[in-house]
Chain A
Amino acid sequence: MDTNRSYTVWFIVLFAGLVLLFLLNVSLGSVKIPLEDVLSALSGNGASKSSWEYIITDYRLPKALTAILAGGGLAVSGLLMQTLFRNPLAGPFVLGLSSGASLGVALLILGAGAFGGFLGSLLLSQWSLVIASALGSFLVLLAVLAVTLRVKDSMAILIIGLMFGSVTAAVVAVLSYFSTAEKLQQYIFWSFGSLGNQSWSGILILALCCILGIIIAFASCKSLNALLLGENYAKSMGLRIKRTTLLIILATSILAGGITAFAGPIAFVGLAVPHLTRQLFTTSNHFVLLPAVLLSGAILMLICDTVAQLPMSEETLPINAITSLIGAPVVIWLLVRKRKLLF
C-alpha cells in the first residue's frame, strides 16, 4: 500500500501549504502589519492598532476566504467537467456558465443606460450585479439541462456551451458599441474578476453554494470513476447516465455560477488545477482526486491573489489576468512535457 502512504503525505503537504499561504496572504498588503498582530486579530483577540484589526478582519480575511472558496470550487467544477465530457480541455467556462453570467452583467451595466438616471443607478448596486450574473448563469444552466435531456451526445453539450460564449461576446460587442465609456469601464472592471470587497453575508452565500456543490460532487465520485471508461461501459455497470449527468451539471452550475456571481469570471483555475493535481497524485480515482483538487485549487488561488495584490504597493492587479498568466503557461508546460493531456 505504498501509493496510499504517498497520498497521505501529499495531502498533509497540501494542507500545510494551504495554512501557510493563508497566513502569508493575510499578512501581506499595502499596510505592513506584524505577524503577531495578524495572528491575534485572526484569533479574535484584537490587534495593537484598531485600524489593523479592521484591515485584517474586514478586508484581508474576507478576501482570503473568498480566494479559498473560489479556487477550490472552480477547480472541483473543472474536474467534474473534464470527467463528464471525457475531454481534458473542459472546464466551467466551456459549459457557457461564465458567459451567461457575463451576459447578465453586461445587460445590467451596459443596458442600464437605457433606463436612464435614477432607475439606472438603483440597478447598479453591488447586489444587483450578483443577481444579474447568477440569473445569467442560471438561464444558461436551464438551457444546458434541457439540451442534456434531449441529446445523448455529451460533445453536443460542449458545443452548445461554446455557442453561448459566442452569442455573449456578440451581444456584449453590440452593447459596448452603444454605451458610454464610463459604463464600458465598469463592465470591463467586473470582467477582470475581484476577490475583495465582499460583505460577510456575501461570503456566507458563496460558502453555501460551494459546500452544496462540493457535497454533490463527493456523492458522485463512484459514478465519476465509472464514467472514466466511457458512457457505454458506465451504463453496462449499472450507472443511470441521465441522472448522473444531471447531478454533475447541477453541481458544476452551482459552483461556477455562484463563484462567478461573487468574484466575476476567473479563467484557467478550473482547467489547470485538475491537471496539476493529476501530476502530483498520478491517479484518476475521484475519491483521491476530488479532495486533492479542492485543496490545490484553494492554494493556487491564494498564490494568485498574493501576487495580484503586489506586496508593498497600493495597487491590485486584476485577478482574472493573474490566473491566466499563471494558468496558461502551466497548461502549455504540461502539454510539452507530457505530449498528451490525460484525464
Chain B
Amino acid sequence: MATEGKHSAIAVSGLEIGYFRKKKKIPIVSGIDFSLNSGKLITLVGANGIGKSTLLRTLSGMQPKLDGKILIGEKDLSDYSSLERATQLSVVLTEAPASGNLTVRELISLGRQPYTNSFGVLSEKDKEIIQNALEITETAVLENRKCFELSDGQMQRVVIARALAQDTPMIILDEPTTHLDLYHRAYILKLLKKLTSEEGKTVLFSTHEIDLGIQLADVMIVMSEDEIYVDEPCKLIEQGRFNSLFPEDTIHFDTNTGRFTIKN
C-alpha cells in the first residue's frame, strides 16, 4: 500500500485563525506554518482553549481562515468546490450525529454521498468500500444496530468508518478519544495508526492523550501560548517542547518516561 508519503498532504503558511465578529477579525492564533507529508499519523496537542478545534475546523474548510494559505494536496483549499473538498477531506467531529435512528450501515453509507447520484443509489464499488470500512473498524457485527443503542466506544468506531467510506486521502478528527475508557482510547488510536500504515491515509487528530500520542504519532503539532512546534515526538521531547504546555507548578513533564506527572 502507499505508505511512502513522499508528497505533501497539507501545507499551511502564514495562517491566521479565529473568528469574524461584525466583519472585524478576532484572531486566536496567527503565523502558523507547517507542511506535512501524506501517509502520516499527526497528533495535535495543546491546552484547552488554545485553538485546536478552530485550527481543525479551518483546515477542513468549515470555518473561514482570517489570513494565509492552506494547500490540500497541491491545490488551495479555497479553490475546491464543496463537492471536490468532500473527496479530499473527511472529518470526525466531537458532536454526535444528530439522528440516532439510523442503522450503523445506513450511517456509514452516507459517507458515499459525494460520489452517488441525486437518488443516493450505491454502486457495487460503493458497497465494496462500505464493506471495507465496516471490516477495518470492526463494526460489521453492529451493522443492523440503531445508532442510539451503541456505546460511546462503538459509536466512535462507526463515525470513523463513515469517514473511511468517504474515501478521502486525508481524515481530520477532533478529539476522537474523549469519553472513552483507557482500552477504547488505545483501540481508537491503534485503529488510526492502522489507517495510515495499511490504507495510506493521512490522519490528523487532536487529543488530550499526550502520552499515547507520543507513543504512536509520526508527527506532533504542539500548540502552546507563544508558538506552534511541529516535529517528530522524540525530537519535541529533546527540545523540551512539552514542558511549556501546562503551568509548571501543577504538572511536570518527565523527559525520560515521556509522561506527565502531577506535582505535589
A221, A233, A283 pick with most chain B CB within 10 angstroms: A233
Contact of A285 among B93, B106, B116 (CB under 8 A): B106
A222 touches B97 (CB 8 A): no
Alpha-carbon separation in the docked complex, A232 to B162 (Å): 14
- B101:A343 contact, CB within 8 angstroms: yes
With both chains docked as a complex, state the minimum distance between the C-beta of A338 and any C-beta of chain B, in angstroms. Answer: 10
The answer to whether A86 and B166 have CB atoms under 8 Å apart is: no
Contacting residues, chain B, for A287 (C-beta < 8 A): 119-120
Instruction: Name B90-138 residues within 8 Å CB distance of A.
Output: 90-91, 93, 95, 97-103, 106-107, 110-111, 113-114, 116, 118-120
Complex CA gap A1/B40 in Å reads 39
Q: Is A230 an interface residue (CB 8 A)?
A: yes
Query: How far is the CB of A214 from the nearest CB of chain B, in Å?
Result: 16
Choose the segment among A6-14, A155-163, A236-244 that binds chain B (4+ C-beta atoms closer than 8 Å): A236-244
- Cβ–Cβ < 8 Å partners of A236 in chain B: 60, 62, 86, 89-91, 93
Residue B99 contacts which of A221, A222, A343 (CB distance < 8 angstroms)?
Answer: A343
> Would you call A57 an interface residue if the criterion is a C-beta within 8 Å of the partner chain's C-beta atoms?
no
In the bound complex, residues from chain B placing their C-beta under 8 Å from that of A235 are: 62, 82
Chain B residue nearest in CB terms to A342: B101
**Chain A residue contacts of B95, Cβ below 8 A:** 230, 232
As a 0/1 sequence over residues 274 to 304 of chain A, the CB contacts with chain B under 8 angstroms (1 = contact) are 0000100001110100000000000000000
Q: Is B83 an interface residue (CB 8 A)?
A: yes
The closest CB in chain A to the CB of B99 belongs to A228
Cβ proximity bits A302-343 to B, threshold 8 Å, 1 near / 0 not: 000000000000000000000000000000000000001011
Q: Which residue of B lies closest to A218 (CB)?
A: B119
Q: Is the CB of A219 within 8 A of B118?
A: yes
User: In the bound complex, do residue B166 and residue A237 qualify as a contact, i.e. CB atoms below 8 Å apart?
Assistant: yes
Total interface residues in chain A, CB < 8 Å: 26
CB <8 Å contact, A225 and B91: no
Contacting pair B119 A222 (CB below 8 A): yes
B93: chain A residues at CB < 8 Å are 230, 232-233, 236
Bound-state Cα–Cα, A238 to B114, Å: 6
A284 touches B102 (CB 8 A): yes
Q: B99, A240: Cβ atoms under 8 Å?
A: no
Q: How many residues of B contact A (CB 8 A)?
A: 33
The answer to whether B148 touches A283 (Cβ under 8 A) is: no
| B252 on interface, CB distance cutoff 8 Å | no
Which residues of A from 188 to 207 have beta carbons under 8 Å from B?
Answer: none
For residue B83, which residues in chain A have a CB less than 8 angstroms away from its CB?
238
Say yes or no: is A226 at the interface (Cβ < 8 Å to chain B).
Answer: yes
Residues of chain A within 8 A of B82, CB atoms compared: 235, 238-240
Point out the residues of chain A lying under 8 angstroms from B194, CB to CB: none
> In the complex, what residues of A have CB within 8 A of residue B84's CB?
238
Kindly state whether residue A146 has any CB partner on chain B within 8 Å.
no
Interchain CB contact (< 8 A) of B100 among A221, A233, A285, A342: A342
Q: Tell whether A229 is near chain B: CB-to-CB under 8 Å.
A: yes
A218 to B89 CA separation, bound complex (whole angstroms): 28
Query: Contact between A237 and B114 (Cβ–Cβ < 8 Å)?
Result: yes
The residue on B at minimum CB distance from A241 is B82
A161 to B172: give the CA distance in the assembly, Å: 36
The CA-CA distance from A227 to B120 in the complex, in Å, is 14
Docked pose: A232 CA to B89 CA in angstroms: 13
Tell me if B85 counts as interface (CB < 8 A to partner A).
yes
Expressed in whole angstroms, the minimum distance between the Cβ of B185 and any Cβ of chain A is 23
Q: CA A240 – CA B148 in complex, angstroms? A: 27
Q: Enumerate B30-84 residues with CB–CB distance to A below 8 Å.
A: 60, 62, 82-84
- State the CA gap A338–B91 with chains docked (Å): 32
How far does the Cβ of A271 sit from chain B's closest Cβ, in whole Å?
16
Q: For residue B124, give the distance in angstroms from its CB to the closest CB of chain A.
A: 15
On whether the beta carbons of B97 and A233 are closer than 8 Å, the reply is: yes
Known: A236-B86, A238-B85. A284 touches B91 (CB 8 A): no
Complex contacts, A283 vs chain B, CB 8 Å: 101, 103, 106
Most B CB contacts (10 A, CB to CB) among A222, A236, A340, A342 go to A236
User: What's the Cα separation between A139 and B208 when bound, in Å?
Assistant: 50
Contact B120 A222 (CB under 8 A): yes
Q: Can you list 10 A-B pairs, Cβ within 8 angstroms, ordered by A?
A: A221-B119, A222-B113, A222-B119, A229-B99, A232-B95, A235-B82, A236-B62, A237-B113, A237-B166, A284-B102
**Partner-B contacts on A (CB < 8 A):** 86, 219, 221-222, 225-230, 232-233, 235-240, 278, 283-285, 287, 340, 342-343
Footprint of A on B, CB under 8 Å? 60, 62, 82-87, 89-91, 93, 95, 97-103, 106-107, 110-111, 113-114, 116, 118-120, 148, 162, 166
